[in-house]
Amino acid sequence: MSRIGSRLIGAALALALGAAGGCSSGEGVDVDGGAAQGGAGGVLTAAIGGEPDQLDPHRTSAYYSFEVLENVYDTLVEPDENLRMQPSLATKWTTSADQLTWTFTLREGVRFSDGSPLTAEDVKYSYDRIVGEKLNAAYKFATVKSVAAPDPTTVVVTLSAPTPNLLANLGGFKGVAIVERSNVESGAIKTKPVGSGPFAVASYTSGDSIKLVRNDNYWNTKPKLSGVTFTFVKDPTVALQNLRGGEAQWTDNLPPQQVPALADGGEITVQRKPSADYWYLALNQARKPYGDVNVRRAVAFALDPAAITKAAKFGLATVNQTAIPKGSSWYYEYAPYRHDPEQAKRLLGAAGVSGLTMDLMVTSEYPETVSAAQVIAAQLKQVGITVKIRTLDFAQWLDEQGKGTFDAFMLGWLGNIDPDEFYYAQHHSGGTFNFQKYRNPAVDKLLDDARTQTDQGARKQAYDQAAKQIVDDASYIYLYNPDVVQGWSKKVTGYQARTDRAIRFRDVALAK
């Protein structure tokens, strides 16, 4: 899915992360969407932990934005509960024998929420926009030579090389959603986007809430809810109070230390599932002395990820020194670091570094980064590194990250499906989100080759080698894979938490 903005248990995750779905050469998939009218089911209030930075799906990278946009937009295909790609706007697709031409047949009669028809030209416009303007998901189109719309219901994607994860690239998250050109050109997409999904944005009150209403032009079964209101509640204690008091009926911002008791209490429904997310610490290699691998490794040896995870997640996470979680078939078991302050001091000495002061950037909209930062600072102090914690709101945090004005930051990646999503944008020298300025030609080649490798075993080996080098180079210092934890009122039916953290309210009903 995206950076902060996770894309069920055990075997499901193992199958999911490599799934391309769809069909092989000459084969097709065809699923017709229903059009039954949903009944009025009231307005559900969802308390989320922060405010979106914007609602343009191609420009945002914030999870809070995608929580909303999941209910507003569609993609050609979309992941099911096992993260296998299924038809959405496209009802079927075929691939050529050389796997370089993919032909998608669009669902007929689809309209945007404003009543305008959605055609193949809208798909072409959306993809051309992402690539041409080098927007956040442009890296997913690296092998796409062209996108054509020969008729209103046909999209032809021509590739420069076989791309086994193409379906995940075109539907894994709403960052590749199909947008309406006039909505983009007017600039309204930032606060009042127009999509073809189950709900439409009715209003956006900055600092307070975003209100969605049922999209009566929706091509599939109409939602039972008449609307969804997303409220921005940073404090997990307040979010829980709102849930208990009936001011909210759903939240993913529960106080982590209270989750076990809440799950056992029966007052609200609580679901906890493994995720495909990871959280990490990144050091800015464009700033001295962090370009020295010995300094980055010293920081890794100075840290105790178990203590950091306990402080940040209260046991609702699994320590992992690589990105991909243990439940996945793409998992690579590798843990070269241990909490060893003496080894950290030796590496700092080898780098000629002493009396280092580190600027650590965190955001109040992800409180776990603030909690973890206190522990990180205490651990680094033991090896002579003084940490100055800089706590920003998320919009400012993103701006500082983009400008490279930081020594270090802690954050997470959510909603990953294919292994390419765990590594390419973050660690390839040309990666869109390589804000730490990591460069290793060997890693570049491994990541480039793996993208077009159709042999599953060879692809796994390439990603294992890349993961090992990334960890050895401490491009990211991986900390943990968090669980998905969400809670909702007993009045809510039809909702299930997902490992990709896609928040879908289209099948939800709310009892009176």
Report the share of the chain in percent with pLDDT over 70.
92
Domain spans of the chain? Answer: 73-184, 197-267+490-510, 278-483
* CA torsion, ordered 253, 258, 261, 263, to nearest 10 deg: 20
Residue range 441-466: average pLDDT? 96
Residue range 278-305: average pLDDT? 98
Q: What is the pLDDT of residue 40?
A: 54
Confidence bin at 170 (pLDDT 50/70/90) = very high
∠ CA 3-5-7, nearest 5°, is 85
> Does the pLDDT value for residue 20 go beyond 90?
no
Q: What is the pLDDT of residue 63?
A: 92
> Does the pLDDT value for residue 8 go beyond 50?
no
SS (H, E, C) 247-274: CCCEECCCCHHHHHHHHHHCCCEEEEEE
Structural class in CATH, domain 73-184 = alpha beta
pLDDT digits (tens, 9 = 90+) for 34-90: 344 445 579 999 999 999 999 999 999 889 999 999 999 999 999 999 899 999 999
Q: Does domain 278-483 have CATH number 3.40.50.2000?
A: no
Q: What single letter denotes the amino acid at residue 307?
A: A
Q: What single letter denotes the amino acid at residue 364?
A: S
What's the whole-number average pLDDT of the chain?
91
Rounded-to-integer distance, Cα 315 and Cα 302, Å:
21
Rounded-to-integer distance, Cα 453 and Cα 163, Å:
7
Instruction: Please tell me the chain's helix, strand, coil percentages from 3-state DSSP, rounded to the nearest 5.
Output: 30, 25, 45
Q: What is the CA radius of gyration of the chain?
A: 22
Q: What is the pLDDT of residue 39?
A: 52
Q: What is the pLDDT of residue 28?
A: 39
Cis peptide before 325 (omega within 30 of 0): no
Q: What is the pLDDT of residue 364?
A: 87
∠ CA 329-330-334, nearest 5°, is 115
pLDDT digits (tens, 9 = 90+) for 201-255: 999 999 999 999 999 999 999 999 999 999 999 999 999 999 999 999 999 999 9
Instruction: Classify 259 in phi/psi space as left (phi over 0), alpha (psi -120 to 50) or beta.
Output: alpha
Report the share of the chain in percent with pLDDT over 90.
87
Of residues 317, 295, 303, 318, the one with CA closest to residue 374? 303
CATH architecture label of 197-267+490-510: 3-Layer(aba) Sandwich (3.40)
> Does the pLDDT value for residue 16 go beyond 60?
no
